[in-house]
Amino acid sequence: MAMSMTAASGAFAWTVHQFFERDDMALTGMAAAILLLFAIQLRGLRSRLRQMRVLKGGMEELRAADSAIRLALEDTKRKVAEVTFAIARKSDAQEKKMAGELHIIEDLVRSFASNMERTKEYAVLDGRPRLAAPNHAGAQPEPVMLEIIRRALEENRVDLYLQPVVGLPQRKLRFYEALSRLRSEDGAIIMPAQYIRIAAPAGLMSVVDNLLLFRCVQIVRRLTQKHREVGVFCNISGHTLTDAEFFPQFLDFMHHHRDLAGQIIFEFSQDAVLAAGPPEEANLRYLANLGFRLSMDQVTKLDLDFARLKRLGFRFLKVRAGILISGMKDAGAAVAAEDFKDMLSRNGVHLIAERVEDEKTVVQLLEYNLDFGQGYLFGEPRPIREIAEANDPRAPASPPTATLIPEGLARRLAG
């Protein structure tokens, strides 16, 4: 660049000399110097122009970056707003669920108090309670047993047990069946066969069912947080199904918990289903429309209207292993055991063999290509606390329950 500028200055000086036809070195030198200064200024101007272009490009990049930052901030604000809204919506949903649960609890307590007053007529003779401290709950006469049941309910000594239902032939855990047990004051276990025949005539069976159903929903929600592929059969007695006061409230409760439809299967006895009239059938269909599957157990007659069961939402049928192996004709089945499962499958019903007690029975049942099995061979009923500790030793025995009821009863409802 310097050589170019020097050459340009020399050329300019020669031009001046020729134009003015003077041999004046001073003038020539001055002209060259002027031209050199001009060139330097021009070079500086070009350099500044380049710098300005670079600066302009940098400013444009900064403006673009600023615009990107603004867009990112707006996007972040939008996402924060969405998260905030989602949290608020979830909180609102949880509040609704809690309100539904509290509503159920209030109904349970109201029903409990009403039934407790009514059963005093059964439990008192000549102004004195009939209960003498029992050593074994199962060996008491009916009035004494009724008082034991009443006290067990009053103090919420209603325990939830779970028994596994496995897939065949792999024997993989697929479901649990929830079962209720009562405890007397001395710790004796009162089985359903012992208390149902006494509690039902006294109007206490709905209290047992209601407490069991409420706790079952809580337990299912906790158990399925890690194992959503495992469902729970929850038994509902015929007394509860026909309870015109409670069952609609129960349906509303399950409507708010329909996210558990894939995990809860409601189970009814064959007698309860056969005795169901139009109102009960409508209730069953409502449960099915919410997405809950239904199951029938205590099956002794196999001449069933399977199309009706399908319409009502029944997807499982539990039949004793002994009936499937040797008692199909006695149970009124229209087909042999090896064809019975196929007939059920055509109606969308899975067959569960229950009361499977030994390996020989399993071998015989596998010939019928059954879906599931249940019985002491695969696991006996265990208290929910043992199941929870086996899955997670740090897990609490039961989820908390709000205390809008007497403290002692609320604490025991929470487990």
pLDDT means per 10 residues in the chain (415 residues)?
A: 55 55 57 64 71 71 70 67 57 52 52 51 39 46 82 83 93 91 88 84 76 77 72 87 82 86 92 92 93 94 90 94 88 85 90 94 90 94 76 46 33 37
116 phi and psi angles, rounded to 5 deg: -65, -40
| pLDDT for the residue numbered 91 | 47
| pLDDT for the residue numbered 96 | 56
CATH of 99-413, picked from 3.40.1480.10, 1.10.10.1100, 3.20.20.450, 3.40.50.2300, is 3.20.20.450
Q: Which two tokens stand for residue 366?
A: 């596998």
Distances (CA, A) of 379 to 165, 237, 357, 390: 8, 24, 10, 14
Give exposure, 352-382, as e/b (b: 16+ Cβ within 10 Å). bbbbbeeeebbebbeebebbbbbbebbbeee
**HEC letters along 117-144:** HHHHHHHEECCEECCCCCCCHHHCCHHH
| pLDDT for the residue numbered 102 | 47
pTM value is 0.65
Cα of 303 vs its chain's centroid, Å: 36
Question: What is the DSSP-derived secondary structure letter of residue 260?
Answer: G
167 phi and psi angles, rounded to 5 deg: -80, 145
| pLDDT for the residue numbered 353 | 95
Alpha-carbon radius of gyration of the chain: 42
CA–CA separation, 286 vs 203, rounded Å? 25
Of 315, 308, 328, the closest CA to residue 368 belongs to 328
Pairing of strands 231-235, 189-190: unpaired
